[in-house]
Amino acid sequence: MSRIFTVSVASVYPHYVTKVEKKGRTKAELDQVIEWLTGFDEAALTGHLDGGTTFEEFFAQARLNPNASSIKGVVCGIRVEEVEDPLMQKIRYLDKLVDELAKGKALEKVLRS
C-alpha cells in the first residue's frame, strides 16, 4: 500500500492550487477539473478538504468520469494508462489533469470535451 493512499487530500490540495496559480490558472478551474474527474461539486470538495479525507476515502466515494480512461501521458516518469493499482491510477489521473491545466492546456481539452 502506497503512503499517498493515507495522505489527506487537504494536505495536497494547496500544492495543486499553487501549481496552477503560478501558471496563470485559477482555483476555480482546478475545482472544475476535480469535479469533472470525481463528480464532487464545490460543497462536496470543501467537505472532503475540511474533513481530512484521505485519497483512499476520496476516490472510494468519487463517481469517476466515464472518460477518465482517455487520460494518457506521463506523470513522475510513469504512464498513467499503465498504472496497475486502480487507486494509484486515479491519483495519477488527477495529477495529470493538474499538470495539463498548469501547462496552459485549454480547459476543454483538459476536460476531454
For residue 2, the model assigns a pLDDT of: 85
- Which residue in 28, 27, 61 sits closest to 44, CA to CA? 61
Please compute, for residue 108, the number of CA atoms within 13 A of its CA located in the half-sphere on the CB side.
Answer: 1
Is there a contact between 36 and 111 (Cβ–Cβ < 8 Å)?
A: yes
Domain residue extents for the chain: 3-104
What's the CATH superfamily of 3-104? Answer: uncharacterized protein sp1917 domain (1.10.8.290)
The pLDDT value recorded for residue 76 is 87
Cell of 4: 499517498
Place of cell 493512499: 5
- Residue 87's pLDDT is what? 96
- Predicted pLDDT at 1: 64
Closest residue by Cα to residue 32 from 42, 18, 17 = 42
Per-position pLDDT tens, the chain of length 113: 689 999 999 999 999 999 999 999 999 999 999 999 999 999 999 999 999 999 999 999 999 999 999 999 999 899 999 999 999 999 999 999 999 999 999 999 999 98
